[in-house]
């Protein structure tokens, strides 16, 4: 766990609410959390902002830091970028246009659907998969938590990730350019806000993946604006601006991305634990005959994001109904899926390679790392192997690692501590029976 750097994470702890229970440590896919001093501590270099700890914290101590509507004041012109997942929070009979109108009433000057970006990326991936020499299976770059998981835990699979931005980044760039061109605004006067279903996207704004600087100004959680938005959205008031087609909107549910790309030989995997398992398989050289893998960190895809409000099964059902409706209605309204895109729209010029960030290394010096592995192995043998997590590390193996790293001690294990207390107690009883000589004398006098 070396290489700890100060970097921004959306997922944060509210210490007053943390009871020091071990739920989050157990659910963290990268074993980034330890309970120390009765509070959860997140190791920055390992955190991928997937939001699993937010989902599982019974005290709601884990939260996602996102921007606020009040931050809109910082800019003259504010553009909302709604994730398709936002639409799943509403009944299917509330049209997308009504939701967009609601966002305008909330204080945004313009809306630009992320689904537009999704349509562009879908076409680009379709063309990319036709190229020769593509490392198979190609892996989707859309979910930032998955990309970070690969950086941290599967750095050898970075070359499998398709070399494109996530749809939201494309949408942000286009929305920005459009506002500059049509309204003659300066770049610094435009605020571009992603209405986000998850903390990983928030982190991606401040720590961009594959681009130098994000075109997004900030991210506002769906659950933060939902209450106000819900009251403003009515089917009667609709925004008539150009809309993305069902193809882009479909990205909110698992399988939507691969459907949009139009590739058949695929695998769709959601839920971070399943994603980890599949990446293990890819790393072992399996699944080379698969063209494309759509990987989503949240169970149920983006509509299952930790910052959404609706149960993800409910949202998925609504979303599927909405998409079926759109498939029929969109063509009648002249809304058709995109068929073309330009390199400018794709934004290839600003891209840089996604770098590996392996965080599992025990020491920068390999011989020191070897000694630590030896300590770990020896320590693990003396631990009870119950994986109870009471020590504050997620399992016995992690405690052994923490001990080897000098961050924990054997007595952190409650079972080893109990044995030690018992041994001490026996010793005390034995000692008590051994009376000192003067008292021995008194006894004889009696």
Partner 1 sequence: MPEQGIELEFVLEAADFDSAGEASSKIKRTLQQLGVRPDVIRRIAISAYEAEMNVIIHACRGVIRAEIYSDRTELVVDDEGPGISDVKLAMQAGYSTAPDHIREMGFGAGMGLPNMVRCTDKFDIKSEKNVGTKLSMIIYH
Question: Which stretches of the chain bind partner 1, using CB under 8 A?
Answer: 155-156, 158, 280, 283-285, 356, 358, 360-364, 366-367, 369-374
Q: Please classify residue 416 by burial: count the beta carbons closer than 10 Å to its beta carbon, then call 0-12 exposed, 13-18 middle and 19+ buried.
A: middle
* C-beta of 151 vs 243, nearer to partner 1: 151
* 155 contacts 41 by C-beta, under 8 angstroms: no
Compute the 3-state secondary structure of the chain and give helix, strand, coil in percent, each to the nearest 5.
50, 10, 40
Rounded Cα distance between 40 and 20, Å, is 6
We find the least distance from the C-beta atom of residue 247 to partner 1, in angstroms, to be 32
Closer residue to partner 1 (CB): 370 or 435: 370
Give the residue from 67, 68, 72, 74 showing the smallest Cα distance to 104: 72
CB of 358 to partner 1, least distance (A): 7
- CA–CA distance, 308 with 316 (Å, rounded to integer): 12
Instruction: Select 345 or 401, whichever has its Cβ closest to partner 1.
Output: 401
Q: Let me know: does 120 contact 346? Beta carbons within 8 Å.
A: yes
Minimum CB separation of residue 125 from partner 1 in Å reads 24
Comparing CB distances to partner 1, the nearer of 21 and 373 is: 373
Shortest separation between residue 121's beta carbon and partner 1, angstroms = 26
Measured from the CB atom, the residue of 31 and 330 that comes closer to partner 1 is: 31
Q: Which residues contact 319 (CB under 8 A, 6 or more apart)?
A: 84, 87, 88, 92, 252, 253, 303
Provide the minimum distance between the beta carbon of 353 and partner 1 in the complex, in angstroms, as a whole number.
13
Between 289 and 340, CB nearer to partner 1 = 289
- Torsions phi, psi of 186, nearest 5? -85, 150
Q: How far is the CB of 361 from partner 1 (least distance, A)?
A: 4
């Amino acid at each position: 766990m070396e290489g700890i750097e100060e970097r921004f994470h959306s997922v944060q702890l509210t210490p007053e609410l943390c009871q020091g229970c071990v739920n989050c440590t157990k659910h963290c896919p990268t074993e980034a959390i330890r309970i120390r001093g009765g509070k959860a501590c997140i190791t920055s270099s390992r955190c991928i902002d997937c939001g699993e700890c937010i989902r599982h914290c019974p005290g709601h101590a884990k939260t996602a830091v996102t921007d606020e509507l009040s931050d809109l004041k910082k800019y003259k012109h504010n553009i909302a970028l709604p994730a398709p997942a936002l639409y799943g929070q509403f009944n299917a009979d509330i049209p997308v246009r009504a939701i967009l109108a609601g966002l305008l009433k909330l204080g945004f000057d313009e809306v630009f659907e992320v689904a537009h970006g999704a349509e562009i990326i879908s076409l680009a991936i379709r063309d990319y998969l036709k190229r020769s020499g593509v490392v198979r299976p190609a892996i989707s770059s859309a979910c930032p938590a998955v990309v970070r998981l690969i950086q941290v835990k599967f750095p050898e699979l970075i070359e499998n990730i398709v070399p494109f931005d996530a749809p939201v980044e494309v949408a942000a760039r286009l929305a920005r350019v459009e506002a500059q061109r049509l309204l003659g605004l300066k770049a610094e006067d435009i605020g571009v806000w992603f209405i986000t279903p998850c903390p990983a996207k928030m982190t991606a704004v401040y720590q961009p993946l594959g681009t130098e600087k994000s075109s997004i100004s900030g991210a506002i959680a769906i659950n933060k604006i939902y209450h106000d938005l819900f009251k403003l959205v009515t089917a009667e008031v609709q925004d008539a601006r150009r809309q993305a087609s069902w193809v882009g909107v479909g990205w909110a549910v698992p399988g939507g991305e691969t459907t949009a790309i139009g590739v058949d030989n695929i695998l769709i995997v959601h839920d971070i634990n399943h994603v980890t398992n599949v990446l293990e398989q890819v790393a072992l050289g399996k699944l080379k005959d698969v063209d494309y893998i759509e990987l989503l960190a949240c169970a149920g895809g983006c509509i299952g994001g930790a910052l959404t409000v609706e149960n993800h099964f409910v949202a998925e059902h609504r979303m599927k109904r909405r998409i079926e409706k759109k498939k029929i209605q969109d063509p009648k309204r002249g809304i058709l899926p995109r068929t073309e895109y330009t390199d400018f729209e794709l934004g290839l010029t600003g891209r840089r390679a996604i770098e590996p960030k392996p965080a599992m290394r025990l020491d920068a010096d390999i011989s020191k790392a070897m000694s630590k592995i030896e300590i770990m192995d020896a320590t693990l043998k003396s631990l009870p192997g119950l994986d109870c997590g009471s020590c504050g590390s997620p399992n016995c193996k992690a405690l052994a690692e923490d001990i080897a790293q000098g961050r924990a001690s054997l007595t952190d294990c409650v079972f080893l501590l109990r044995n030690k207390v018992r041994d001490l107690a026996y010793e005390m009883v034995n000692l008590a029976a051994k009376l000192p000589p003067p008292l021995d004398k008194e006894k004889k006098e009696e």
